[in-house]
Amino acid sequence: MIMISFRKRILTAVFRHNCRRFSISRNTQAEKKGLVLGVYEKEKEDENLRFTDAAETFDRSLSGRLRELLSTSGPPLKKGKNRVFYGIHEEFPSVVVVGLGKNAPGICDKENWDISKENIRAAVSAGCRVLQDQEVPLVEVDPCRDAQAAAEGAVLGLFEYDEFKRKKKFVVKTQLHGDSDNAAWERGVLYGEGQNLARRLMEAPANHMTPKLFADTIEQKLASLSDKVTIYKRPQSWIEEQEMGAFLSVSRGSDEPPLFLELHYNGNPDASQPPLVLVGKGITFDSGGISLKPSTNMDAMRADMGGAATVCSSIVTAAALKLPVNIVGLAPLCENMPSGRAAKPGDVVRAKNGKTIQVDNTDAEGRLILADALCYAHNFNPKAIVNAATLTGAMDVALGSAVAGVFTNSDWLWSLLHKVSVITGDRVWRMPLFQHYTRQVTESQLADLNNVGKYSRSGGACTAAAFLKEFVTTPHWAHLDIAGVMSNKDEVPYLRKGMSGRPTRTLVELAASLSSEA
């Protein structure tokens, strides 16, 4: 008994000592930093590893040890793959080397994007996630010769919506390794945070993102920029005064009152400069109304306000960047629900411009609320109007998640949108606006227009765009149908599964491009 008791005391003391040592080790580790470095693919088998400038400098500080470890620890790193090394540097106990693909391939005309930028975003994202899983609190990131793309990859890759989970994803702070281009890094951080804001809005459950809560969220985000931004939260009485009958017809079925959000960002000191007007579809939940959707995947319709989310988030980002451009943002916000007050198939409503619409499908509601918002947009003498909407399932069928479809009456505006989407990697593709489709929505039995095409499913994205065109008189207008890019499974490697927030960065880059023209 005495021997057992003595042995027990010894084991307990050893256990406590080890626990204290482990605790000290963990605390020390928590104070350390992680590092993400880039390496390019070899172009020839016999050539040396091709590091980025930052990785080359780091390797020299280790007298070539990093190069040696990479050469002996496995096959050459391919694009998007990574390898982790521990204990090779006192300041950085964890070093992740990521594969960047071929060195500086640049813009690919076939893919319509800058391959180098996309490779950087994907690689940096993967490296940061490895360190997030290891609960490394501070990660320095190699600029990989494009600090903005590296920052976007880090910020977008680490985001995960866990608002209502008790177990949260470990929070990682990222910063630029070295000081080669801090301005570009900070710009990339703002671009990434802007898209993450759109993702957060789109992902939020519909009972936590009603029209009012949506508007309140945007107002809070812009609170510190009140000297440059004016916000109007127009109530139902104002919507009625504006004679927005199409918008009101959609909102009638819900107990949540509609709200028209109007944002004015005045970044150009010359107030006479015409603004870019961005219009976003803001259906905070879409049940389909009386034309009820199938229950399968209906929960995803909490993101049917993706157009409003991307538009408003892009304005928040433009304001944070202090872009010298004037922007007006418009977001008609409401729910589309079935009730005794809801619009019925066959009803006729009158839009703000006086045109009557036969509503043969209450699930084609986005074009109704946009019709009135587009009419109102002309009040601002716009340089251009761009609207974004998760408008049609037909767009998803046509193009999938590769690109957003663009319908436009302006070659100039199309050229700008295409150019900036190549930079952001969030691509767009031009679709037709033929009279062929216009005839299908203007041949209506009871009214001037029908809210669905004459041949129903055929060319559904095109007939929806043709419908919107009936409410546009400006020579520079573009409609972005973003239904196909609304969510991400695994198509975009630097976005986790869930709502994508696309194409927020493309809208920001459009505003930046226009500001450079001013």
Which active-site residues does the annotation give? Answer: 293, 367
- d(CA 481, CA 479) in angstroms, rounded, equals 6
What are the counts of helices (DSSP H) followed by strands (DSSP E) for the chain? 16, 22
- d(CA 326, CA 514) in angstroms, rounded, equals 9
- d(CA 267, CA 14) in angstroms, rounded, equals 65
Annotate 382-416 with b (16+ C-beta within 10 A) or e (fewer). bbbbbbbbbbbebbbebbebebbbbbbbbeebbeb
The secondary structure of 362-403, three-state, reads CCCCHHHHHHHHHHHHHHHCCCEEEEEECCCHHHHHHHCCCC
Q: Is the peptide bond before 503 cis (omega within 30 degrees of 0)?
A: yes
Q: 283 vs 280, 287, 401, 437, 507, CA distance in Å?
A: 9, 10, 21, 25, 20
Q: How many CB atoms lie within 10 A of CB 183?
A: 9
- d(CA 99, CA 243) in angstroms, rounded, equals 57
Residue 497: φ, ψ to 5°: -60, 135
